[in-house]
Structures are given as C-alpha cells and as structure tokens.
Amino acid sequence: MPRRRSWAAVVLFAVAGAVCAAPSAAAMTAGSADHATAAEETAVASADSLGDHAASLVASMTVEEQAATVVMGHIGGTDPAALRSYMAAGFGGFILMGANIPDSEAALQNVTAALTTDAALPPLIAVDQEGGIVSRLNGDDYPASTTLKERPVADTTAAFAARGSLVARSGITVNFGTVADVTDDAGSFIYGRALGTDPQSAAERVAAATTAQEPFVASTLKHFPGHGAAPGDSHRAIPDSSMSLKEWRSTEAKPFAAGIDAGASLLMFGHLAYTAVDSAPASLSPAWHEIARDELGFDGVIVTDDLGMLLSSGDPAYADPVANGVAALAAGSDLLLVIAGSDAGTAGRMTAGIAAAVDSGALSAERLEEAAIRVVTLRLRLSAATTQWTQCPDCDPAD
C-alpha cells in the first residue's frame, strides 16, 4: 500500500526565491526512527478512525445526498452569497477557475470561506495551480515545469512547497497541480506542463512535487494513464495511443507510481484512450481503474478530468453528460468534475442522474457508497489537519 504522510509530523523549510514555509506546530525531530515509527502508527490509526467516521456519515445519507457528495461543481463569480447558495445543495467539492479569483488574497479567503456551508464537513475546494502555463492564483512567481524539468530535483521540492503554501493560505484544500505526464516532444500539447522529458526524470520531480505539497494541501497526479503517449488536446478530442500495457508499465506509469508512493491524495483520470487496454477513455474504463488500484496500489480519491471535455470532443457516444458521469462512477471514479459547458444547474442535474441510476440499477448502490466514503474521508482528513503553516520570508533553508 502507498505510504501516507503525517501532516503534523513534518518539518519542512521550502525555499523558492525569497519565500520559506515552516510549520508553527511542534514537529518530530528529523532522523529519529523511533519518532518516525510512532508518527506513522498514529497516522494509520487516525486514518482508520476517519474512515470509520466517514462510513458512518455516508450510511446516514440519502442516495441523493451521497450522489451530491461525489460531484465537484463550478459556477463563475466571487459573490459569497451566490457561492454559498450553490454549495447548499451538498456538493462534495468546488473547483475555482479564473472567474472565481479576486485580486487580493484576503478577498479570495472570503470566497473560499463562503463555499463551506457545514463547518463539520467542509467541501473539497480545488484549483489548478501547476504554476507557469496553468496558473490561477496571483503571486505564484515560483519556478514551474517549463524550467524545472531542466533543473535539479531540489528546485522542484522548493517550488512546490512554496506553491502548496500559497494555495493553502487562501483556504483551498486540493491542488490539481502535479502533471505526471511525460514527453520529450516539444510539439506536444502537454510538453510545457510536464515535469520531465523521460520517465525517470519525470518520476523524480513528480515525487518531489508530491512530497512538498502534501503537508499543505491534498495534491493530485494527472492525467492518468498519461497524456504524453496520447498526442492531441483532450479539451477538444479524445487522444489515443496504441501503446501496449507492457510498454506503458516501463514508461508512462513510472511518474504516476512515484507520485503514488510519495503519498498523493488524488489521482486524476484523463479522457485518453489506450486502445490496447480499452477502447474507451480511461476515465470511463473499469480496466484502467483496476490497474490504478491493484497494480499501482492507489487507495485515495480518483477524480475525473473535467467531464465537460468529453462533450467538447464532439463524439456522439459522449453527448450525454449525466451518462458520462454515471459511467465514470461505475468504472471506479470517486469524484466527478464538471466545468466546461456547465451552468448553475449542471451539478444538480448530475446529482439527480446519479441517484436515478442507482434507483434503476444502472449503478450499484455499493459503488456509490464506496465513492462517497472515499470523498468524505478526504474531506474529514483535510478539516482535521491541525498544523498551521505560515510564510517566513526571512527564514533560512534547511541544511
């Protein structure tokens, strides 16, 4: 099983430019095996307790409430009242896009605070903060993939620790920010966002980015099973690859495996068809979900890439957004992301469609419950984190 990091048991000094981040809570002494073992045992016990609590909460929910829990919705704007009203439907998460980001950090904190309608179970609040090409937040001047792929791995650690702190300070709990795709083709859609040009270098930097972010936010690996071998822009089509599973294991899989071993909380499935494994996009493929769980040992939350992208592909097989969501859940995804083409009613329609699918038998109640438990467990874990992180512009790097 992947190793999980204990948030309150890490001392991290991350240097990127003039920014350092350090925990204000007590942390274990580096190099103490006894303390490390105790912290790991405590983390495991805590995880078990959160899982039990999540299962109890989900069991008390109606099917409609469980369905809402596995949807991550989106509307534009920064009006706190409108955002609070939207989230009152009980959605499990919200993704911030450019139109949700005000100029100041204080104003952004007001936005994220408005998204929480139940303090005992805050939603997952996510953002795409890769840095560089894909950057939503103001103030992220830290090195990004465009240059990190050519710099020492320690630079990736520093940049993503600072980036993770920036994200967390705004009240955001999930960063869809670690691109685990790999390609050496400078003409590729994903080249500028990838952290490495070969599987080994990408794996090292993906692991570093994951380890650096997890003390601050729930980090996410994307776009499984790998955009590098599937040319094309998945915002406009469904890229495909004829790569064999054997070749995938020795190439594209390596950065994802490294990130999973480093403790990534979420794994984002891309709308990518590796036809030697399954003709369907990975996001809708039971085979790829099984590979992620059984081969790579991922036990966290599997989130789809934006389901609106399937509609944008123009393929009539994916013209029904609710059917796509139900198919992704049935395949093994836990959290459905809806952005492109969505309006204030999209997430609600997805919720209703999932509930109807359970009622009709098209989606098993057990699969929905499993997905909801994973999402609620992560929500509880993030809300229970007690370590307080602060920026210390004058601190020195750790030796």
Contact 237, 273 (CB under 8 A): no
Place of tokens 């942390």: 27
Contact 9, 27 (CB under 8 A): yes
Rounded CA-CA distance 77/24 in Å is 33
Question: What is the token pair recorded at 397?
Answer: 């790097």
Rounded CA-CA distance 152/173 in Å is 28
Rounded CA-CA distance 45/36 in Å is 14
**Which among 325, 302, 301 has a CA at the least distance from the CA of 380?**
301
Using DSSP bridges, classify how beta strands 21-23 and 389-391 pair: parallel, antiparallel or unpaired: antiparallel
CA angle 4, 137, 188 (to 5 degrees): 80
The radius of gyration computed from the CA coordinates of the chain, to the nearest angstrom, equals 20
CA angle 63, 64, 69 (to 5 degrees): 95
Q: Does 235 participate in catalysis according to the annotation? A: yes
Cross-strand pairs, 221: 178, 267
| Annotated active-site residue in 128, 155, 181, 305 | 305
Phi, psi of 330 (to 5 degrees): -60, -35
From residue 14, alpha-carbon distances to 38, 64, 73, 163, 215 in Å are 25, 43, 32, 10, 11
Contact 273, 238 (CB under 8 A): yes
Rounded CA-CA distance 115/193 in Å is 29
Contact 163, 140 (CB under 8 A): yes
**Which among 192, 218, 194 has a CA at the least distance from the CA of 205?**
194
| Annotated active-site residue in 235, 261, 278, 299 | 235
- Which three-class secondary structure state does DSSP give residue 185? coil
Rounded CA-CA distance 214/63 in Å is 31
Q: Does 334 participate in catalysis according to the annotation? A: no
User: Which sequence positions are flagged as catalytic?
Assistant: 235, 305
